[in-house]
Amino acid sequence: MKTLSLKLDDDVFEETEKVVSELKLARNRYINEALNLYNQYNKRRVLKKKLAQESRLVAQSSSEILAEFEKLADEI
Protein backbone atom coordinates (compact mmCIF):
# COMPACT_ATOMS: atom_id res chain seq x y z
CA MET A 1 0.00 0.00 0.00
CA LYS A 2 1.21 3.51 -0.80
CA THR A 3 1.12 6.49 1.53
CA LEU A 4 -0.32 9.66 0.09
CA SER A 5 -0.51 13.16 1.45
CA LEU A 6 -3.43 15.09 0.12
CA LYS A 7 -5.04 18.47 0.56
CA LEU A 8 -8.82 18.65 0.50
CA ASP A 9 -11.04 21.67 0.28
CA ASP A 10 -12.60 22.33 3.67
CA ASP A 11 -16.14 21.68 2.45
CA VAL A 12 -15.13 18.38 0.81
CA PHE A 13 -13.38 17.28 3.99
CA GLU A 14 -16.35 18.17 6.19
CA GLU A 15 -18.79 16.38 3.89
CA THR A 16 -16.51 13.34 3.82
CA GLU A 17 -16.29 13.27 7.60
CA LYS A 18 -20.09 13.33 7.89
CA VAL A 19 -20.51 10.46 5.44
CA VAL A 20 -17.69 8.41 6.94
CA SER A 21 -19.23 8.83 10.38
CA GLU A 22 -22.69 7.79 9.19
CA LEU A 23 -21.31 4.75 7.35
CA LYS A 24 -19.01 3.86 10.23
CA LEU A 25 -16.21 3.45 7.72
CA ALA A 26 -12.54 4.35 8.01
CA ARG A 27 -11.74 7.56 6.13
CA ASN A 28 -8.91 5.80 4.30
CA ARG A 29 -11.25 2.99 3.13
CA TYR A 30 -13.86 5.51 2.03
CA ILE A 31 -11.37 7.53 -0.02
CA ASN A 32 -9.95 4.36 -1.59
CA GLU A 33 -13.43 3.23 -2.62
CA ALA A 34 -14.29 6.69 -3.94
CA LEU A 35 -11.13 6.85 -6.04
CA ASN A 36 -11.75 3.35 -7.34
CA LEU A 37 -15.25 4.32 -8.47
CA TYR A 38 -13.96 7.54 -10.04
CA ASN A 39 -11.24 5.62 -11.88
CA GLN A 40 -13.84 3.20 -13.27
CA TYR A 41 -16.03 6.11 -14.33
CA ASN A 42 -13.17 7.81 -16.17
CA LYS A 43 -12.02 4.57 -17.82
CA ARG A 44 -15.54 4.19 -19.21
CA ARG A 45 -15.56 7.80 -20.44
CA VAL A 46 -12.26 7.24 -22.25
CA LEU A 47 -13.52 3.97 -23.72
CA LYS A 48 -16.76 5.61 -24.85
CA LYS A 49 -14.77 8.34 -26.60
CA LYS A 50 -12.51 5.77 -28.31
CA LEU A 51 -15.48 3.68 -29.40
CA ALA A 52 -17.21 6.74 -30.85
CA GLN A 53 -14.07 7.62 -32.84
CA GLU A 54 -13.70 4.05 -34.11
CA SER A 55 -17.39 3.92 -34.95
CA ARG A 56 -17.09 7.06 -37.08
CA LEU A 57 -14.15 5.54 -38.95
CA VAL A 58 -15.98 2.27 -39.55
CA ALA A 59 -19.17 4.07 -40.58
CA GLN A 60 -17.34 5.95 -43.31
CA SER A 61 -15.66 2.79 -44.55
CA SER A 62 -18.94 0.86 -44.41
CA SER A 63 -20.69 3.54 -46.44
CA GLU A 64 -18.02 3.32 -49.13
CA ILE A 65 -18.29 -0.49 -49.30
CA LEU A 66 -22.10 -0.30 -49.40
CA ALA A 67 -21.91 2.14 -52.30
CA GLU A 68 -19.64 -0.27 -54.19
CA PHE A 69 -22.06 -3.16 -53.57
CA GLU A 70 -24.95 -1.01 -54.79
CA LYS A 71 -23.03 -0.27 -58.01
CA LEU A 72 -22.44 -4.01 -58.51
CA ALA A 73 -26.12 -4.75 -57.86
CA ASP A 74 -27.15 -2.09 -60.39
CA GLU A 75 -24.85 -3.60 -63.00
CA ILE A 76 -26.42 -7.02 -62.58
What secondary structure letter does DSSP report for 5? -
pLDDT confidence of residue 23: 97
Structural domain boundaries enclosing 19: 10-75
Asked if residue 36 belongs to a domain, the reply is yes
pLDDT digits (tens, 9 = 90+) for 22-56: 999 999 999 999 999 999 999 999 999 999 998 88
- 5 falls within a domain: no
Q: Whole-model pTM?
A: 0.68
Q: Is residue 59 part of a domain?
A: yes
Q: What is the pLDDT of residue 63?
A: 79
Q: Count of domains in the chain?
A: 1
Q: Tell me if 3 is assigned to some domain.
A: no
- Cα–Cα distance for residue pair 41/49, rounded to 1 Å: 13
Question: Please, what is the end-to-end C-alpha distance for the chain in angstroms?
Answer: 68
pLDDT of residue 2: 92
For the chain, how big is the Rg over CA atoms in Å? Answer: 25
